[in-house]
């Protein structure tokens, strides 16, 4: 019987200016917000206090933006970096142009904007990914640029346990 193990992309498989749509989407719940906010010790009333938030400009509690960032990145893992990543190198240009609310559905997508072979680590490459989160109406709720180091196919096959 043939076996296929799900994995991310090797360096050679990342295509510039390609947008990967990560599905399914994730409908946000109040429990997601409260759990994430309290697990990360973020006591911001805007996430936890409905009465206080009702008097603020948005009129209701907002999803914790770090949950939103973690979820749009997490949604990309199975398709792009599962088992092929060496390291997450960092984030830049993170923004949250529109709030995400309880009951919204978050859809994630990633565009490959740059890639180059590592100058210091043979058999590995650096890929720049632009992550975008949109709500169910297509409104952008989060963006982040991320650099990851990934294996080149031949180098990884040599070092992998088979």
Helix (H, G, I), strand (E, B) or coil at 78: helix
What pLDDT, on the 0 to 100 scale, is given for residue 162? 46
> Is residue 92 classed exposed, middle or buried when 0-12, 13-18 and 19+ CB atoms within 10 A define those classes?
exposed
Average pLDDT, the chain: 95
**Would the pLDDT of 15 be above 70?**
yes
What pLDDT, on the 0 to 100 scale, is given for residue 17? 93
What pLDDT, on the 0 to 100 scale, is given for residue 72? 98
Tell me the average pLDDT across 124-150: 98
**Would the pLDDT of 114 be above 80?**
yes
Give the percent of the chain with pLDDT over 90.
91
Token pair for 34: 């409260």
Q: Buried (b) or exposed (e) across 97-115, using 16+ Cβ within 10 A? A: eebbbbebebbbbbebeeb
Specify whether domain 11-159 bears CATH 3.10.129.10.
Answer: yes
What pLDDT, on the 0 to 100 scale, is given for residue 159? 66
- pLDDT-based confidence at 33, cuts 50/70/90? very high
> Rounded distance, CA 48 to CA 142, Å?
21
**Would the pLDDT of 161 be above 60?**
no
Tell me the average pLDDT across 103-115: 98
């Amino acid at each position: 019987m043939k076996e296929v193990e799900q994995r991310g992309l090797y360096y050679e498989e990342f295509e510039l200016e390609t947008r990967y749509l990560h599905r399914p989407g994730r409908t946000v719940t109040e429990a997601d917000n409260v759990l994430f906010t309290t697990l990360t010790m973020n006591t911001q009333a805007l996430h936890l206090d409905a009465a206080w938030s009702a008097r603020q400009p948005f009129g209701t509690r907002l999803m914790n933006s770090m949950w939103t960032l973690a979820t749009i990145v997490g949604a990309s893992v199975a398709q792009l970096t599962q088992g092929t990543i060496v390291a997450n190198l960092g984030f830049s240009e993170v923004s949250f142009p529109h709030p995400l609310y309880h009951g919204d559905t978050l859809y994630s997508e990633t565009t490959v904007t740059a890639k180059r072979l590592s100058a210091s680590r043979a058999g590995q490459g650096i890929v720049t990914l632009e992550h975008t989160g949109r709500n169910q109406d297509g409104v952008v709720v989060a963006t982040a640029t991320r650099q990851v180091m990934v294996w080149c196919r031949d180098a990884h096959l040599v070092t992998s346990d088979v």
